[in-house]
Amino acid sequence: MKRSDLTQTKRWVIKIGSALLTDDGQGLNVAALSNWVEQMVMLRRQGVEVVIVSSGSVAEGMQRLGWKQRPKALNELQAAAAVGQMGLVQAYESEFAKYDTHTAQILMTHDDLSNRSRYLNVKSTIQTLLSYGVIPIINENDTVVTDEIRFGDNDTLAALTANLIGADVLVIMTDQQGLYNDNPRENPNAELISEAQVSRKDIEAMASPEGGALGKGGMYTKVMAAKRAARSGTATLIASGREPNILPRLQSGEQVGTLLIPDLEPLTARQQWLAGHLQAKGRVILDDGAVHVLKTSGKSLLPIGVKLVEGHFQRGEMVVCFDQQGREVARGLINYPIAEAQRIVGQPSKNIESILGYVADESLIHRDNLVLSD
């Protein structure tokens, strides 16, 4: 994709961070939100479908409750989110109403996207809303989420939403101009990266938490979100939400922000769903032969190629496959619960029945339920 191609795109996911929405935690910045809403209405008039992934509920709740410090206790964070969500959605609804545009609130947890049936239901709901000209506003369901199922950041949620609906573009609006080759807060000579292929290894390194302070500002999660979005062929734009008229400028192809271009073959819809699982129930350690087969032939994972399984999982739950050096190779839905998987590892498939007394599948993970890692 080139910048000029952005003028032809028809479906955008726009993520707005809490620092922008709440004026760095001071409460909802209604004036800024009003300006972004006007820009999104302009996009819609250009034929672009818009889905919003919005942060800000916790910060708004804290402001409404008079809390000066962000709480650490999960129940207090959830209470703040519940209060703040009222103001957040009300603000969006009021601003879009000025343009006779309806909005809809969708709250999700990772569990909603891990469950295949609920995943398809959410997808259908968003598609239906868009067909009626409604703008969905998506946020993590902070009021019920637990550490085991939370997305962890709305950059990830935005990327998974882009996969879910097959978006052309993911826009991550932040307080930075885009991705730099060094930390611009410390290095005045740092250069903005205008365009890059999402598979470039140095792009990830520039934003890595281990590589410098950029990661502390959340740029690492944005680069990883771009990689996730690329699974569905979605291009990612990282740009400053404080730039005037930023969304129409991006849509016109102007050289602003950072464009991360998907340059790998998009995954199938089912593979995207599998790859989007953030929580795994176990680990599977593969021998070198199994690693080679998975990477080169697209075959199922057989028990004979497995050296070790560990974790707490039932049949059909997500596990991650690693090579013997600890590098992630693939992830997929396992055909046997942990106790039975441990009994058949390293064995030819013909021995499964004599060991377990039955055969659920000759493979430990069938190729239809397995996706290679990035």
Quick: pLDDT tens for 97-133. 999 999 999 998 877 888 888 889 999 999 999 999 9
Q: How far is CA 31 from CA 34, 300, 356, in A?
A: 5, 54, 65
Side-chain-side CA neighbours of residue 136 (13 Å): 26
Q: Which fold has domain 3-271?
A: Carbamate kinase (3.40.1160)
Taken as a whole, the chain contains a residue count of 374
Answer yes or no: are the C-beta atoms of 168 and 235 closer than 8 Å.
yes
The model's confidence at residue 71, banded by pLDDT at 50, 70 and 90, is confident
What confidence score (pLDDT) does residue 187 get?
Answer: 80
What confidence score (pLDDT) does residue 17 get?
Answer: 85
What confidence score (pLDDT) does residue 151 get?
Answer: 64
Q: In which residue ranges of the chain is CATH 3.40.1160.10 found?
A: 3-271
Q: In which residue ranges of the chain is CATH 2.30.130.10 found?
A: 280-372
Q: How much of the chain is in helix, strand and coil states, percent to nearest 5? A: 45, 20, 35
Among 48-52, 90-94, 221-225, 270-274, the least confident range: 270-274
Check whether domain 280-372 has CATH 2.30.130.10, yes or no: yes
What confidence score (pLDDT) does residue 93 get?
Answer: 96
Amino acid at 231: R
Percent of the chain at pLDDT above 70? 94
- Look at residue 222 and tell me whether its pLDDT is greater than 50: yes
Partners of 333 in the beta sheet?
Answer: 318
